[in-house]
Structure 1
């Protein structure tokens, strides 16, 4: 197997309350060729297929399960430009110039993603602000310094002290930062929309297909499926999420377990502006609303990937998230309608690994770890499209493989 097989999620997410999307299936009955083969038909693979088919490449997407059946339905889909690692902390890790570039690129990615969703008429684009609450990673004073760092980088934000936070949002915390213009989405709708756009241009989607071997040559890549079929391509892209190519973890990355819930729909006003809310804590609680009045809330991350142990904790972790949600927002209902758990990833810097794979010619990977997975999938699509077109990307080294 080229990628490590994982039990990616358990339970039923709020996005699975509707009928699963249907797609035309391409059957691989003999030797097959394509300009680009994308392994993975989740949100990352869908964005790759859209970007590359629009650039004129003949794209074949393959998946061992089926389209949008891996980690994507487990996403809580807070499409933020704010990186998990605060700008002040990232500056100490990689330097001010690189840290500012990384934050600005995330801002551009969210804007570009919103524009692409509108251009393809995938779904209505809903803009949401984000409220970043003081916690054990950044206290009120550190949040004030973070505010100044973001303002110097040209990233607009507002600092709210305890009184302003209480008056505007009814939340009791020492301070918060208010960021602007992020995106709210249904990740299954997004992935399906990008896949359908690519298919309309002639891209092909095949499943269930297990790629078990590859031979990376100077000008091409040869693949072998579990059924012995041969696929030849000029470029191969791993968009396999937490099922890592060859099971290898990039330097500074870690795979975890996480839990989330969605409440029953509520007609009452949830909170001011229904902005995203998350904490400057480790692990942090995060939440958003949906169009039908649910609250999606997640967190309680644990440093292990044992699926049986993870699944056994659903009831306890759901109750813990309920308690924290109720304490933070006492005027809403925390009655649970959906609860789920899944594999999640982080990195020391909060940045993903995107780009060409070391020692494998013509092979690329998108490893969008952290709470900005969909935002990073957009950046990965931009970087790989530029690379395959021979143009390069000015920020590519920020996300390059580290060994």
Structure 2
């Protein structure tokens, strides 16, 4: 599956961080993980922390699928507003989903503090604004619902927004919880830690056949070697849909640009994450070296050739949209890329098992805050494997 165009910022910025071998001999293990992006890396981290033997395989070089193209905003806010999510999954599950995302950001922070190298993590406030007057009611509803379950945020009026930002919006929510990260570096540092705890990592190794047995699974690779495992975890991102007979996601094309570095490190109010109520939405964040990253202008299709041809046009549209809101900042495009983006019917991830694949778990952290969902998926799957109950198991199951 063609996941992205060439030259995403994070890959160009960091290059090949570490090298991993391709598989050279057959072996047996407790857990086989398919997918060497951020999702697979988080799962491997949690399993090896428990002392569970695992092997991770990726057909590409590690982190070079969707992970290096991620814009890596860490939000507790789900693409589906809390009020709308309640209609899909009920009030209890909707509230718990939002609260779990807050906890996930806090847990990611703790993990980054334990790693040997900096992975660009920083806490940020999150500013969610009404794109038009018709969306003010949604902002008011979201403020009430989130406040009722203890989420720390404040509602901003048009006058409040004008005093903090150089653009106008009829209303908005400024939340205390949010963060940003370099998902590509984070993936490599997670794996580095996990390797020291016994994880085996093989990239450029494609699984070409999966055979399910009563006592486990057997994976055959493109090199002819086999991996026998008691359990299989599929964490292949958007390509995971190919292992399911039932469609669970819709694929879109998304676009992003990054500016040249600015001399000033304070680019807007507390360099908060910024996004809006419109769908598809425009979103913004900063980077550690004072760049601005903008994403959005999504198109509802998966067609790599068509997507790639739109990249330059969409880059200019994103630049113009930014300049309209921040006329005093001279945004000059340094990097631009396009990628595949997937969303589910309710905006929540799919985590767990399906009957057609025994001894197999899926970690599908789709949506605008996929890294946060991947953190939750890693915990859910770990807890399941060690016989511990996790509140997310029923919320994110396939037959919800």
TM-score normalised by the shorter chain: which range applies? Answer: over 0.9
Q: What does the per-residue CA deviation read over 1:156-185, in whole Å, with 9 as the maximum and x for residues that have no partner?
A: 110001001101223201011001131111
Show the 5 A alignment for 1:230-309: 230-248=226-244, 252-268=248-264, 269-309=266-306
Cα–Cα, structure 1 residues 122 and 402, in superposed 2: closer, same or farther, change >3 Å?
A: farther
Give the Cα–Cα distance (whole angstroms) in 1 for the partners of residues 176 and 166 of structure 2.
19
Alignment of 1:342 with 2:339, yes or no, is: yes
Show the 5 A alignment for 1:87-126: 87-123=82-118, 125-126=121-122
SS at match of 1:109: helix
CA contact (8 A) 2:11 2:64 kept: no
Show the 5 A alignment for 1:2-401: 6-23=1-18, 25-123=20-118, 125-135=121-131, 139-248=135-244, 252-268=248-264, 269-401=266-398
Give the Cα–Cα distance (whole angstroms) in 1 for the partners of residues 146 and 136 of structure 2.
15
Cα–Cα, structure 1 residues 198 and 388, in superposed 2: closer, same or farther, change >3 Å?
A: same
CA contact (8 A) 1:118 1:125 kept: no
CA contact (8 A) 1:137 1:281 kept: no
Q: What does the per-residue CA deviation read over 1:113-169, in whole Å, with 9 as the maximum and x for residues that have no partner?
A: 111111234426411001001026971122011100000111111000100110122
Give the Cα–Cα distance (whole angstroms) in 1 for the partners of residues 312 and 241 of structure 2.
32
Cα–Cα, structure 1 residues 136 and 214, in superposed 2: closer, same or farther, change >3 Å?
A: farther
Moved more, 129-138 or 202-211: 129-138
RMSD: 1.7
Q: What is the deviation of 1:220?
A: 1.1
Give the number of aligned pairs.
Answer: 398
Give the Cα–Cα distance (whole angstroms) in 2 for the partners of residues 305 and 364 of structure 1.
25
Cα–Cα, structure 1 residues 239 and 138, in superposed 2: closer, same or farther, change >3 Å?
A: farther
TM-score (norm 1): 0.95
Unaligned runs of 5+ in 2: none
CA contact (8 A) 1:26 1:204 kept: no
Moved more, 214-223 or 293-302: 214-223
Q: What does the per-residue CA deviation read over 1:253-306, in whole Å, with 9 as the maximum and x for residues that have no partner?
A: 211110000011111341110000001110000000011111000001111110
Q: What is the deviation of 1:395?
A: 1.9
Moved more, 369-378 or 92-101: 92-101
CA contact (8 A) 1:283 1:301 kept: yes
Give the Cα–Cα distance (whole angstroms) in 1 for the partners of residues 94 and 248 of structure 2.
16
Cα–Cα, structure 1 residues 193 and 249, in superposed 2: closer, same or farther, change >3 Å?
A: farther
